[in-house]
Every structure is written in structure tokens, then in C-alpha cells.
């Protein structure tokens, strides 16, 4: 069994856990999990994120507006994000970013992500950034705002990776690296310097093989670690230990 597992990005507020959220979270330490960062995506679910983070010592949270959650955003939302970000167990501004897969107006996405990047920089906090099919604009924003933090569920090329690293950011890889058709994530897993890599589940989504399509949770990180460790020629526990150190350093835990 592995120990010292840190899940750098997940969503334990998700309704998929409504039946057994407490049991699921409380079982994690006995499965080797030492830390998880559960991400808010709007001002509603951040309440549960905060509750979980305040209840469990190994659970940390983020606050931020996800690009898929722009509808009915109050005009003073940024004040609320800023206020919640100061709570002790809130470790980053996230999940923020750009999503060009779904049909969401780009100008609205840009406005909200820029405001949150500026806030993170004012507060000197890391961001958790979501980039789905928006690599070009994402890089423009990262160059301009130079946030510290994480490009989560990294889906860019190895070329883009070089620039992300140069800007000082970290990336995380999750279940996608175990998928049969994973080509680019495997390349990225080969290339990324080990001191810039974090492991994540994005639970409840993106469960690794052999659980693909099922509900994910942080106890499945070993399947991701085993795949990447094999690519890198180190032991899974060694990879887990390194990525856990990275996550704690990046989130300031
Ligand atoms: Ni996510």
C-alpha cells in the first residue's frame, strides 16, 4: 500500500457524493491519502468546500469562479472571492480559467478570469487554472499576469509546457494519462521536470483505468502514479513522495 498521497485537484462538493460524501472522505486517510485540495467553481459550492476544509485537517479548499459558472454572477463577486480567500484552509484562487469546448461567450470568460488573475496577484496567492481547448489565450494570460500556481489536468503540448515551466508554474496530471488513447499526456509525463509535477484526480470525474467512466476519488491516485512512475523509471512511492512535496510547497501548506 502507498502512503503520503496528495490529490492536488478534486471536487468533493459534487452531487455525485451526496449519498456517501462523509464516508468517502473519512475513508481516505486509511487508504494512504495525506492531503486533498477540493476546488470550488462558484459562490454556491464554495460553502460546502469551506465546510469540508474546516472539518477535516487533511482537506484544503480553493475559491474562484469556473468559466462554466458565469451565469447569474453577482457584480460584487470578486469581493466575496477575496473575502473567502483569507480563510485559513483556503489555499488558492480556483478553479478559474478558459473553456472553449463549451459554447460560453469568450468576452465574459476573459473578463472574469482576468479579474481573478489580478486578484490572485494582489493577494500573492496561487491559482488553479483550467484550460480546455484554449491554449493560445491561456498562454497570453499567463504571460501577462504571471500567476504562480497550477495548470491543472494539463492538456497542452510539450512545446507549451516549456513556456509554462519558464513562467514558474506547476502542472498536474490525472487519470487521462492512463487512458488507452493518451499520447500527448504520456509525452508530457516523460518531459516534465519532477519538481514541477503534481498528481490530481479531478474527482469525481476522469477516473483512471481500470475505473474509467466510474466515480473517481483520491484513493485512485496510485493508478496514475504507477503509470507515470513506469514512464519515468522510478518507484510509484517515490513519485508520490516527490509530487506531495511539490503540492505542499506550491499551495504553501
Ligand atoms: Ni476541476
Kindly list the averaged pLDDT for each block of 10 residues, start to end, along the chain of length 253: 97 98 98 98 98 98 97 96 98 97 95 98 98 97 98 95 98 97 95 98 98 98 98 98 98 97
Q: Tell me how far the alpha carbon of residue 238 lies from the centroid of ligand 1, in angstroms.
A: 25
Q: Tell me how far the alpha carbon of residue 86 lies from the centroid of ligand 1, in angstroms.
A: 21
Other Cβ atoms closer than 10 A to 38: 25
In the prediction, which pLDDT does 215 show? 98
In the prediction, which pLDDT does 191 show? 97
Q: Tell me how far the alpha carbon of residue 9 lies from the centroid of ligand 1, in angstroms.
A: 6
Q: Tell me how far the alpha carbon of residue 202 lies from the centroid of ligand 1, in angstroms.
A: 5
In the prediction, which pLDDT does 169 show? 98
- Return the beta strands (E) in 126-238 as ranges: 127-132, 149-151, 170-173, 197-199
In the prediction, which pLDDT does 119 show? 98
Peptide bond into 198 cis (omega under 30): no
Q: Please, which residues have CB less than 5 A from ligand 1, an ion? A: 202
Contact (CB, 8 A) for 39 and 8: no
Q: Tell me how far the alpha carbon of residue 48 lies from the centroid of ligand 1, in angstroms.
A: 15
Task: State the pTM of this model.
Answer: 0.97
- Cα 247 to Cα 244: distance, rounded to the nearest angstrom: 5
Q: Tell me how far the alpha carbon of residue 172 lies from the centroid of ligand 1, in angstroms.
A: 11
Q: Tell me how far the alpha carbon of residue 159 lies from the centroid of ligand 1, in angstroms.
A: 23
Using CA atoms, how far residue 148 sits from 94, 129, 182, in Å, is 12, 10, 27
In the prediction, which pLDDT does 91 show? 98
Amino acid at each position: 500500500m502507498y502512503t503520503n498521497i496528495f490529490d492536488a485537484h478534486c471536487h468533493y462538493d459534487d452531487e455525485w457524493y451526496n449519498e456517501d460524501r462523509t464516508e468517502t472522505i473519512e475513508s481516505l486517510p486509511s487508504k494512504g491519502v495525506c492531503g486533498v485540495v477540493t476546488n470550488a467553481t462558484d459562490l454556491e459550492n464554495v460553502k460546502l468546500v469551506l465546510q469540508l476544509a474546516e472539518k477535516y485537517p487533511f482537506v484544503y479548499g480553493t475559491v474562484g469562479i469556473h468559466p462554466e459558472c458565469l451565469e447569474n454572477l453577482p457584480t460584487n463577486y470578486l469581493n466575496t472571492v477575496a473575502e473567502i480567500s483569507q480563510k485559513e484552509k483556503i489555499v488558492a484562487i480556483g478553479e478559474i480559467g478558459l473553456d472553449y469546448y463549451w459554447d460560453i461567450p469568450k468576452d465574459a470568460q476573459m473578463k472574469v478570469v482576468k479579474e481573478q488573475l489580478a486578484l490572485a496577484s494582489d493577494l500573492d496567492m496561487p491559482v488553479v487554472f483550467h484550460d480546455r481547448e484554449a491554449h493560445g489565450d491561456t498562454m497570453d494570460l499567463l504571460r501577462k499576469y504571471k500567476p504562480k500556481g497550477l495548470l491543472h489536468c494539463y492538456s497542452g503540448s510539450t512545446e507549451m509546457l516549456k513556456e509554462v515551466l519558464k513562467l514558474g508554474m506547476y502542472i498536474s496530471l490525472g487519470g487521462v494519462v492512463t487512458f488507452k488513447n493518451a499520447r500527448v499526456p504520456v509525452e508530457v509525463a516523460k518531459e516534465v521536470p519532477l519538481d514541477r509535477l503534481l498528481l490530481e484526480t479531478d474527482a469525481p470525474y476522469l477516473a483512471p483505468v481500470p475505473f474509467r467512466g466510474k466515480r473517481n476519488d483520491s484513493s485512485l491516485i496510485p493508478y496514475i502514479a504507477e503509470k507515470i512512475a513506469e514512464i519515468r523509471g522510478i518507484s510509484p512511492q517515490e513519485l508520490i513522495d516527490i509530487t506531495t512535496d511539490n503540492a505542499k510547497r506550491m499551495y504553501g501548506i
